[in-house]
Structure 1
């Protein structure tokens, strides 16, 4: 669980958070979030705790939870020295509340406040985080991020409902957050990768004990700035039941591994081993560094009752069953990295003006859109369309993957296409979820009239 807190309450606050990620839907009304300084234990003692920025002083911030159809009402107080905002990653519609500064709102200045009100139309797992062009990498790298769960009326059967935030941290020799937020190597390359990987605000690995044979519903989010996490299951057979907030037919991931890009959310269900003391593990796979254990689930105590086959929640009836690709407005975006420090990414041959430039396209509400992302860089990009859920199209035909996405990983030198129906009026951001890329100009917008 998160362990960030003020200096005065560093120890006492830990116990208070042990219930946060397991609380059910909260009472209606306006919830306050205060962005302020806090502390996080990222290095073992005798090293001092790390100074961070967090919502209510925590990183990740407090879990927000409500019921589908309720109003999300959050008043943000900025007690920091930097302007900020709140973006609700994965939530569809309501452009004025999307939190992208300066595209749809002015950033909340130091000492200021802003009230976010929007309906939680979709159930699922969402992120909340700042989105201030040029500053987001620092705001996120210092700890400003959190999770929101919107509970469906009839959840799938499970013994354990576990919400988990993954992150990474980059510290200097004194245990402070490194300040190279605009480094050219990150802006043009892989982004800011931190060697310390954390689970719910504590360095991995995390140990969790549950009843033998317990069915676990795991809601997992990658809150890192840039690290694409390949997460493998060992000694458990997982089934993906939702991707980027939207339920899907349950399926087994290839090699029991999920590719969680920054901002991605996966919901999985699996059964723990029935043998007392048996362990199943989440393992972070990488070609660039040794594998590391993220979480160990240990079977302990009285056995849970046996359950039938895993079944996902009902799919979202508000999303279209089909997209007429033949009538879609099509736009390919050729993406090229900056060639020198201080430069910007280019889109279709011109340095990007990001959110201050003209719209990439304008369409009437209800128009199908197809974006093609052509990656000319030597590193992956993670292209994210705000306010909508999109289908990832197959590379060789007109079919699509059987789940919805907010963001899509485009490997170096490759092209990926997505399709969606522009059903929400407003000015919507399209950008790279590797935040150092976005800050260096890999961003634009489209308008739905």
Structure 2
């Protein structure tokens, strides 16, 4: 894979400014020098999840917002953030998908103490990878409830160069269980698959709104950064008839390829970067669907502006994003192999024989740094399981372990009654969680952990 050289930052900014002034490159948001210390507060808030004409829903959010503010960092440069807990319960902050120092992973009982109400926790880390990531709460008792109430935000780590695109479009997807008055429904309450004002049901939002209109010009290329912030739901993004080219998945660049049926499916916490070349006549309206596979959906649209197209023809096929410093090849000859089962025993579901939602006293396994780990994720439950790997990125192996899919993942969807096999290089020292979240279960994930020495 070709990796573009890292230009001097001053030269790069000057070139961007020049091109933007000539109308050849947009003035991308967020490319100014980042502040020395960013601050966030976990707090209560209110969001009009059903639209501006309906009462607001009480939520939890970062700075009281749903989703939280978009944070930006640069690959290879220190990022600093101070989080104040304005809630009346403890919390912690996990950086979903980032390969960072273990002490910053945000897992109470394993990497840090929980942040108590009224307390502030300062964190600093240097991202290894450019890409699209989520920041979310993690707590064995309160984390699931905080996620369900809306606590999540996007972290964008910028790389050494920009792809060929006209505009960045952020889409943070979420799913909500609301009662008839529009408040968050109690766990276990009967809900309609698709909620409407005055009924108890599930609704889907994008960027905290129940609808989606993307304004664009014909032959414009949109760089979509899509994140599934839902706690325990699978989400699907579809633009029928439009060319959607996947260029990154779970924060890692992949070989660009057209998505079959113009759709991408994301498990809880997953992210995708997609190039959308808007094809259609000026003034046309193109359908967009965002579906929670449990039933709720948004029927949105791309509104193509009247007047001349942005350019006479679409741009050439998207190329590779700049590579991240991650091992592209894995040597299986001395791999550490294990199976991790998710199964029902009696009245409870266990993950590797444990039914706990907090890290246990002993690791599931321990390996030396530089070891390739091959793990079978065996789902013997009747529902999909989303298995999230902290601090590492994995390859999804082919059936005979003789190759792998052409992308990296930090979250793996495992269908009922199947086994998914993954492999990853354990190159990040520390104690790392691997968790299994049952789709449709709001009680939080079952937790195991491993140690890299």
Q: TM-score, normalised by structure 2?
A: 0.86
SS in 1 for 2:268: coil
Higher alpha-carbon deviation: 372-381 or 101-110: 101-110
Q: CA deviation at 1:27?
A: 2.0
Structure 1 outlier segments of 4+, above 6 Å:
none
Q: For residues 96 and 76 of structure 1, what CA distance do their matches in structure 2 show?
A: 15
SS in 2 for 1:325: coil
Q: TM-score, normalised by structure 1?
A: 0.87
Q: For residues 352 and 184 of structure 1, what CA distance do their matches in structure 2 show?
A: 24
Q: For residues 102 and 298 of structure 1, what CA distance do their matches in structure 2 show?
A: 51
Going from structure 1 to structure 2, the CA distance change for 1:290 and 1:32 (only over 3 Å counts) comes to: closer
Does residue 155 of structure 2 align to residue 148 of structure 1?
Answer: yes
Ranges in structure 1 where 5+ consecutive residues have no aligned partner: 1-20, 187-192
Aligned to 2:76: 69
Contact 1:25/1:151, CA 8 A, preserved across alignment: no
Aligned to 1:217: 223
1:262-294 Cα distance to aligned partner (Å, 9 max, x none) = 100000002112410223333235765376424
Does residue 309 of structure 2 align to residue 309 of structure 1?
Answer: no
Q: For residues 293 and 46 of structure 2, what CA distance do their matches in structure 1 show?
A: 32
Residue 232 (structure 1) aligned to one of 222, 238, 248 = 238
SS in 1 for 2:359: helix
Residue 113 (structure 1) aligned to one of 101, 120, 123 = 120
1:95-154 Cα distance to aligned partner (Å, 9 max, x none) = 000011122111100000101100022110010010111221110111111001111121
Q: For residues 149 and 345 of structure 2, what CA distance do their matches in structure 1 show?
A: 25
Q: CA deviation at 1:155?
A: 1.2
SS in 2 for 1:139: helix
Contact 2:58/2:183, CA 8 A, preserved across alignment: yes
Does residue 339 of structure 2 align to residue 335 of structure 1?
Answer: no
1:229-288 Cα distance to aligned partner (Å, 9 max, x none) = 132221311110000000111011222221111100000002112410223333235765
SS in 1 for 2:66: coil
Contact 1:279/1:299, CA 8 A, preserved across alignment: no
Ranges in structure 2 where 5+ consecutive residues have no aligned partner: 1-27, 192-199
Does residue 104 of structure 2 align to residue 91 of structure 1?
Answer: no
Aligned to 1:269: 275
Q: For residues 287 and 380 of structure 1, what CA distance do their matches in structure 2 show?
A: 11
Aligned to 2:136: 129
Q: CA deviation at 1:25?
A: 4.9
Say what the alpha-carbon RMSD is for the aligned residues.
2.4
Q: For residues 348 and 137 of structure 1, what CA distance do their matches in structure 2 show?
A: 21
Higher alpha-carbon deviation: 412-421 or 280-289: 280-289
Residue 384 (structure 2) aligned to one of 380, 384, 388 = 380
Going from structure 1 to structure 2, the CA distance change for 1:25 and 1:184 (only over 3 Å counts) comes to: farther
